[in-house]
Structure 1
Amino acid sequence: MDLCVTIKGVSFLLQTGIGIFGNAMVLLACGHIIYTEPKLLPVDMILCHLAFANLMMLLTRCVPQTLTVFGLRHLLNDGGCKVVIYAYRIGRALSVCITCMLSVFQAVTVAPAGPRLSRLKPALPSLVLPTFAGLWLLNMAMCIAAPFFSMAPRNGTVPAFTLNLGFCHVDFRDNLSYVINGVAVFVRDFLFVGLMMGSSGYILVLLHHHSRKVRGIRRSHGGGAETRAAKTVITLVVLYVVFFGIDNVIWIYMLTVAKVSPEVPDMKVFFSSCYATLSPYFIMSSNKKVKAKIICASEQEQPSVDTQESNDK
């Protein structure tokens, strides 16, 4: 195994391990909140669902990609490829949609109450679960074509207009199918990213005006919960947009070239998975409830270790 392959394999291994651990911690913290509290707040529900979508992405894309980089072949048959690719497409789509949902929800929350918003704001908590269901149905329908083009790698050369993922091939048969699929994914992502950027910009404007009016109140209270939540949302959106831009620059290149080097899809996978890897750690550091549950769990573990050491003495 040469140095380039080793570096690539270690990079994927670290990204996968760190991302799975972080998202699993967020989900466990959310589960503990559900167990100890009467109900989960809407923002916590959205963050929990985002962690689930990101974990789904990492398990169905980065895990087999990492194994393939280290030389393991024939991981999946045709049926396994169809299931894994379909699940990955849904997880990736949900990641952008839920991040957009989070930014829109927070924009409505911090917006001044008007004649229209006065009715919408109280109804927001009841709209979270129906919105989740709608996003799942929408993306399951939009990603339904992926399984039909997915198959296990065949011996020999890779045909044109085929995405070589290493562990699976996505063979679009002709240029028209290849371009239509790519454009459909890009348009969907662009619409949701545009919406999340617009809502985040609106949040920034509101925070700027609010800070000028009540600066003394905010200082005396150390900043409101809504302000902290808004800053968390904006940071997540910025994080997503950066990696979305890199991902789609590579994707456009892949659409315009008939035969793509195997390293290019690897780069696309790495950058498209960076958001899923990094976002849970930002959630853990900025969300007080999640952070408190994780700290509480670590503090409960420490006394048990100390007790065992004292018993051994």
Structure 2
Amino acid sequence: MNIWNLEIRIIFLSQTILGILGNLSLMFYYLVLYYRECTLKPTDLILMHLMTANALVILSVGVPQTMAVWGMKHFLKGFGCELLLYIQGFARSVSIGTTCLLSVFQAMTISPRKSCWNDHKVKAAKYIDSHISLLWVFYMLIRFIFFMYTFIKMNIKNMTRNRDFEYCSTVRWDEIIISLYAALVMCPEFFFTVLITWSSTSMIIILYRHKQRVQHIRSSHGSSRNSPESRATQNILVLVCIFLAFYTLSTILRGYIALLNKQNWWLVNISHLTSLCFPCFVPFVHMRHHSIFSISSVVWLRKFFS
């Protein structure tokens, strides 16, 4: 066996297992937190949906791709393949949308009182669940259009399936569907990315100004510890930076692969690895910065299961 192929297999397997365990652990934590307090903070609610979308991405991309690199190629056909690609599509879009919502909401939360966003903070927190539900419904419906088109085209016209994903294959889209995909999926995702960049830049500026204002207070008290708000915002900034880095790299690789006349499986595997990095790393970054599994939570969990 080629040593490089073995390394790719181990990386895919490790990344998929760790990503699933991390996201499911955080989802379970938030469910327990909701059961205990009967409500969730807006940021926690967004993060719970983000972990759900990321878990779906890993299950629909990481698991089949891991099976493919370990030798189980084209194990899905027909409806199963189209359903898997449908889940991949709307889960990825919801992950991008909830990341944008998280970043914008946090920027509004920490904005100064004199800011124009101050009047919208309460409204944003009140309707955050509606915005999240709208994201799920919107992308499930949009992706369902492409799911039905591909499935009908594959069965009625009996065309050759020339889009190979290693674990399954499907028909290639024509120019009209590609243009429709760009308008309904790519343009909103690009808009979300711009919003993420803008809100992240705003948070960096706000935190820097806040640090400058309270620097003399911290020095006089001999403490350099950040406030909980600052730590939470810094955590979200780390998540956003990871998202922008890997999403940009994955998009560039996908565009380059689409332009190639002959498919390069090394580039395809690297593209899949980069697209899985964000959903796999997010839960561990969140655990490290927030220390959510505190002693009080562990004690309550013991009482819950006793």
TM > 0.5 = yes
- What code does the residue aligned with 2:11 have? S
Deviation at 1:108, TM superposition (A): 0.4
- What code does the residue aligned with 1:273 have? L
CA contact (8 A) 1:285 1:291 kept: no
Deviation at 1:141, TM superposition (A): 3.2
SS in 2 for 1:144: helix
CA contact (8 A) 2:246 2:275 kept: yes
| Alignment of 1:275 onto 2:272 | no
| Aligned residue among 285, 291, 294 for 1:292 | 294
| Alignment of 1:230 onto 2:233 | yes
Deviation at 1:211, TM superposition (A): 0.9
Relative to structure 1, is the Cα distance of residues 171 and 129 closer, same or farther in structure 2, using a 3 angstrom cutoff? same
CA contact (8 A) 1:164 1:262 kept: no
Deviation at 1:42, TM superposition (A): 0.7
| Aligned equivalent of 1:199 | 199
**Structure 2 Cα separation of the partners of residues 193 and 286 of structure 1:** 23
Relative to structure 1, is the Cα distance of residues 179 and 11 closer, same or farther in structure 2, using a 3 angstrom cutoff? farther
| Aligned equivalent of 2:12 | 12
Unaligned runs of 5+ in 2: none
**Structure 1 Cα separation of the partners of residues 79 and 68 of structure 2:** 18
* Superposition misfits of 4+ residues, deviation over 6 angstroms: none
**Structure 2 Cα separation of the partners of residues 150 and 6 of structure 1:** 35
TM-score, reference length from structure 1 = 0.84
Deviation at 1:181, TM superposition (A): 3.6
Relative to structure 1, is the Cα distance of residues 299 and 217 closer, same or farther in structure 2, using a 3 angstrom cutoff? farther
**RMSD (CA atoms):** 2.9
| Alignment of 1:65 onto 2:72 | no
| Aligned equivalent of 1:214 | 214
Deviation at 1:143, TM superposition (A): 2.1
Deviation at 1:75, TM superposition (A): 2.6
CA contact (8 A) 1:65 1:166 kept: yes
Relative to structure 1, is the Cα distance of residues 245 and 196 closer, same or farther in structure 2, using a 3 angstrom cutoff? same
CA contact (8 A) 1:56 1:91 kept: yes
**Structure 2 Cα separation of the partners of residues 93 and 294 of structure 1:** 35
Deviates more, 1:114-123 or 1:270-279: 114-123
| Aligned equivalent of 1:249 | 252
**Structure 2 Cα separation of the partners of residues 10 and 128 of structure 1:** 39
CA contact (8 A) 1:29 1:294 kept: no
**Structure 1 Cα separation of the partners of residues 299 and 14 of structure 2:** 24
Deviation at 1:131, TM superposition (A): 0.6
Relative to structure 1, is the Cα distance of residues 184 and 119 closer, same or farther in structure 2, using a 3 angstrom cutoff? closer
**Structure 2 Cα separation of the partners of residues 281 and 261 of structure 1:** 32
Relative to structure 1, is the Cα distance of residues 166 and 74 closer, same or farther in structure 2, using a 3 angstrom cutoff? closer
Alignment of structure 1 residues 1-313 onto 2, 5 Å: 1-114=1-114, 116-147=116-147, 148-149=149-150, 162-174=162-174, 177-178=177-178, 181=181, 185-217=185-217, 222-288=225-291, 290-292=292-294, 296=298
Q: How much identity, in percent, do the aligned residues show?
A: 25
Deviates more, 1:255-264 or 1:216-225: 216-225
CA contact (8 A) 2:111 2:118 kept: no
Deviates more, 1:250-259 or 1:17-26: 250-259
CA contact (8 A) 2:74 2:169 kept: no
Unaligned runs of 5+ in 1: 305-313
Relative to structure 1, is the Cα distance of residues 243 and 92 closer, same or farther in structure 2, using a 3 angstrom cutoff? same
Deviation at 1:92, TM superposition (A): 0.7
TM-score, reference length from structure 2 = 0.86
Give the total of aligned pairs.
Answer: 295
- What code does the residue aligned with 2:112 have? P
Relative to structure 1, is the Cα distance of residues 268 and 181 closer, same or farther in structure 2, using a 3 angstrom cutoff? farther
